[in-house]
Chain A
């Protein structure tokens, strides 16, 4: 069973392998540290010779995202990847995709900002990812992997969610998960969909001339405000459905815990180490890890926080997810934040220290 083989690879490489295996039709991207291994690995894998998947180095991130608009609009499973400054450039296109209800997958391997910033790991794009990021009222489904295995698994998951809800989905990773090597079992090979399957599964898509139906118009433009409000309400109803159905999270040692760390992605890995250190000192600490950042697991976090003394939100930013945590628990217990910025990864010891200083 070669397909179940355990491999050792970087998170970025896992994304590329998983893309080929998830039956992706097209990858469009522009290199940027720390995620350039995605397109490098795809170039080495040469999937255009096997599955027929297109791999294209676009002239810019703006071009990449608009290629997603076109590919997704025709019902193809298309994706791009970049890092923070590049994803900032894509925001207009993502807003247009959300408005036109076009599925597609965007991978952000975050680095320190603002601006060109650093090339080291950061989680400074939480707001940009979970609040829409571009203009208008919309949301993107955001998955936050904390291992190389999840990098591989979330490609197919993200793409399936994107098609299920006709909405852009994002994998929000960072330089730690992208650059580190870990064991990974690659997902099984899934064939690309045929043209017939796409026409059947995506009756909304622009799939070419046909006599049997009205033309499918893919657009986010509606100049009549009363109709645009109807469109917005329909979008909001869809987002509500996603909130109800697609929340994902993980807990560790929360049952007997007095305090909980709340962290996502690589910060959750460091926080897990901080849980180990704190428990060695006799402090009963657990970890709550949101896997979907939007929809945020607010009900689940509120419910698990009921018998706790306090929450410490650990992030590689100045305090972004902490806002969602505060909204979720609504003042029912103390919530503090510990963050490092600019490309610095927190040390497990300083997280334990922050817990003692801020909450005990």
Chain B
């Protein structure tokens, strides 16, 4: 037997070792075997007994080790990836119902999120089916989609960002460098963990001029206000400018997930001994909505409570301040009546609009709740305490029906005979 033929046999024997081991050491093992062929006699039985004995002794151990560690871990992570991808798609579909009324960027972020989740799911399936090259491509594309989604939708939660960035990066490292996957994978997750929180602090609130409104809960009208959000180093500075009176600085800002907390402090320095009034010392807790706006309650040191709303710059609702325009008695009467209402998801309600002490009010039989209707002009009303508007249609000077867009869908009302 020639040394070349012996080498061919040895190359076949190498298949007994796991692929990752062959990729790492196969070439050198063939070189060492070549040396053995040169130093020994490939035609003797003793030579081949030693070769086979070496393979039989070492290959099963390598197979067992590879199966025990990398393969099992990769399969578990692949299953987790498939589940996370599926949950991502379901979550995005759930958001889709509310997305249609929001800015185009939000819709785009959801589309990108669905694409990233689909690709993540595909990558998980690819790993399970041993289609590693396809899995790598899917992971890289998923990362690109997720980065794009994060850029157009900076309010993404930290957990989602850790999954969206960390999982594809960790899996790509594990697929390219299986031998160093544990070390590098862990390092990438630590790096992402260190990088994401400062990124979120700086960008979770879009910088620029925010609009909004504030008003005591016991007063009918809210005042329009503006906020200037700027970044100082890696922290946020927010100034509140009311339509009249003193400016305020937002102090002790805490932005955790969807909740924003702060305390209002007078922006101007107080002379010694002066007792600050107004909203100084008021503590606010707001919650973020799907469109990026925040609404919530503020409570003063004296217990007085007020509503507060913040609308990010560039939002479709920017400048959408709550108004309470006056209506004549004749105008009010044109809306009074009972309306049959079709709610989102097919629910039914009966809304009775009536006049009380010169104010227009509505009673919902579905919610058994009565509230004021704040006139916004052009036949549009905002139910008090809500963040949506209903717009009436008229026939011969009398309202015959209305349409409204809530976060959960469209509301339609028709005057009952």
A complexed with B = no
Interface set of A (CB-CB < 8 Å, partner B): none
